[in-house]
Structure 1
């Protein structure tokens, strides 16, 4: 308890701060266990705050989007799915406000980042175990209340998924945690033993991320490094990364002369360049199963109902009727929002996120872990351009906590600015 009480921000209650930290630590392993602690932390984070949430202008887009989402449910294609689908959004709008007291200070964000890293150890270990030692589930806890369905050899076969249902979801989590792990590794003040422990964890996490065979994850491995290390490293780091990636680009890009491409493909592992240019799927994937086909149908659906949308999860019902292929979502978050809830909601939420990223960056990121925090969310946002990992509740919770931290990072005066006005006696 003494350790958990350290670094508590001034606005956070002691009990809420303890629940918040323990919830973050357990979240990667179990959404249920993490939520059982993060929910009371959220209640504590809202209790005793004498100002309403609508006094913060950053909450206005969320309040307006909530109203439009609820209104759209009454005319949804499938009202049952539409009302249930609100659970992926409106509770997290509340969390954006309620979690801010726990990420107000740089030290609080640093501790939160380290707890996410430490809590991800089971994800890495089980993922490597399923590929290297054939570990398989289901594993049960609390009499079957918590079940981990882990396939030997990964899911899909040969791709690391660990405690997640699918390799791409595991990749999204590891990609999010990677910048936080890198910050933990290069931070100052660690003794040799602690740095060695973090180094081992960082290496294993990178190996696990590579083994997910997610192209988005592989891209995140490279993108994260210069962003976390910051501009002082760019004069030497960016040329080094460019030289390192040159053989990969020569091996993958179409139109490269064979005299250059053949030596590059000899140097680069075949599994890497084949996965990057999708050559192992040549002749197997029909046009209707590609992202382009999904996005084309998505745009048609948006054009038919642009204002309030079709309702949450409507894409999974309508797409098979129009193409004969099944996909659970549109593989693009702005499109998914526009289909489900209409263009105004999509513009409000996407604009809100982009504006928060830009403003927090322009206001200045005060230190290593703030850069890593910003990078973790930025990477997660980019992943949602071609996939929707937020449908996993663990990623959704973590993403909104990161977003709450961005809001807090450029508002150290928030506690004073939002306090109720008092009579000065004038």
Structure 2
């Protein structure tokens, strides 16, 4: 693991970082126990400090505004506790950069994420197909996996995560890397077979989460990872494959076309996409539209410094009589909790990283997969809030650190091969 480390990474930090990335999907605690010292090591003896990097300035300003908002937050102590979802990760954005500072470091990190996701795949498929159930414990109960037979909620794969949508978000994040591992050139036959097995399990698990966001990510990643040179044949093929699905789910399609399409597409897919299984019994206050509408009202009432972290979970029941923990949209949640200025700073920061790195050019297969993974996380946060799971939050900021380092010259492009191998 310690060989072929990025030039900016210390050997001990690089080893801890790789081990932490591998263990992160299985346990936030185990992953953090390794990633935290790696973060400390990565913050020492840097060529330049974080204050001099223009990409950290939006994070520093956002942190100041967040702390200021806590002084008069409606949610009281919850507002201060909510800073733990942000301020340590601003530091992580800077401190993790040495480990993803070149293309080879990002490739190896991506592949370790794929390897680390194997326990999620095994437990998820086991709970759905064979009824596996926890709790399973390590270290005398310090780590407990509550694996629910049949998934959580029932019938939906959740694996080592608390809920199927969170498992779907993690699998969607890792899917571009599994795809890149599958199509990388020069693999030996046995490694190609392993990559096929992992990619197949990844697709099966993604579908079984029954998460519409994860299904969309499954398709979105393919043209990005394979690159523009494949689009002349790939995009028509994708459109042809998706055409029956579109006929099955779009409103206003004549019955003469929609019924044959629904006979062709599995009912579990088209009924989930149209939400026909649950729409009838769902109250308006339980829908995303209601949550977003109330969030906009609350933002309008306190637009500058917000109501404080977790205020939505307190205020939404008062306005609607229904409880929801968050607004199911990251920009709205940020603006409601910390004010419009913080929301614009952080959302603008992420979008600027995506756009600038794309304009500079994605030079390798795994850099395309890296960029696709960040884009998928951005899209997921438009209708959900998976970053409240610490594993996704940590992985997301590692990915953003990698995007930042793509903007620096990398004189030695990496080979697209597995860890410790040139293919």
How far did residue 413 of structure 1 move? 7.1
State yes or no: 1:372 paired with 2:383: no
Partner of 1:135: 132
Aligned counterpart for 1:22 among listed residues 14, 19, 32: 19
Q: Which residue of 2 aligns with 1:224?
A: 221
Retained in 2: the 8 A contact 1:104–1:412?
Answer: no
1:356 to 353, 356, 360: 353
Secondary structure of 2:18 counterpart = helix
Whole-Å separation in 1 of the counterparts to 2:283 and 2:89:
37
Correspondence for 2:417: none
Residue of structure 2 aligned with 1:212, choices 199, 206, 209: 209
Does the residue aligned with 2:197 lie in a helix, a strand or coil?
Answer: helix
TM-score (structure 1 length as normaliser): 0.96
- The 8 Å contact of residues 110 and 370 in structure 2, kept in 1 or not, is answered as yes
Runs of 4+, deviation exceeding 3 Å = none
Deviation at 1:372, TM superposition (A): 0.2
**In the aligned structure 2, how far is the partner of 1:50 from the partner of 1:100?**
12
Where 2:383 maps in the other structure, the secondary structure is coil
1:37 aligns to 2:62 (yes or no):
no
How far the C-alpha of 1:49 sits from its partner, in A, is 1.8
**Aligned residue among 7, 11, 20 for 2:8:** 11
After superposition, give the CA deviation of every residue in 1:62-93 in whole Å (9 maximum; x if it has no partner): 00000000000010012210000000000000
Residues 128-167 of structure 1 correspond to what in structure 2 (within 5 A)? 128-167=125-164
| RMSD of Structure 2 on Structure 1 (CA) | 0.9
> SS at 2:137's partner residue?
strand
Aligned to 2:122: 125
Q: How does 1:269-418 map to 2 (within 5 A)?
A: 269-412=266-409
CA distance in 1, matches of 2:142, 2:319: 38
1-structure distance, mates of 2:164, 2:357: 31
Q: Which runs of 5+ in 1 are unaligned?
A: 415-426
5+ long unaligned stretches in structure 2 = 412-423
CA-CA distance at 1:412 after TM superposition: 2.5
Q: Which residue, 181, 185, 192 being the options, matches 2:182?
A: 185
1:183-233 Cα offsets, whole Å, 9 max, x none, are 000001211111001101110110000000000111111111001000010
Q: 2:102 is matched with which residue: 100, 105, 129?
A: 105
In structure 2, how many angstroms separate the alpha carbons of the residues matched to 1:413 and 1:155?
A: 44
Measure, in 1, the Cα distance between the counterparts of 2:235 and 2:140: 51
**Residue 198 of structure 2 corresponds to residue 198 of structure 1:** no
Question: What CA distance in whole angstroms lies between the structure 2 residues aligned with 1:283 and 1:333?
Answer: 27
Name which of 65, 85, 89 aligns with 2:86.
89
- TM-score scaled by length of structure 2: 0.96
- Secondary structure of the 2:144 match is strand
Matched, 1:240 2:237: yes
Match of 2:43 in 1: 46
1:31-56 Cα deviation digits (max 9, x unpaired): 00000000000000011125321100
SS of 2:277's equivalent?
helix
Contact 1:364 1:410 in 2 (8 A): no
Q: How many positions carry a matched residue from both structures? A: 411
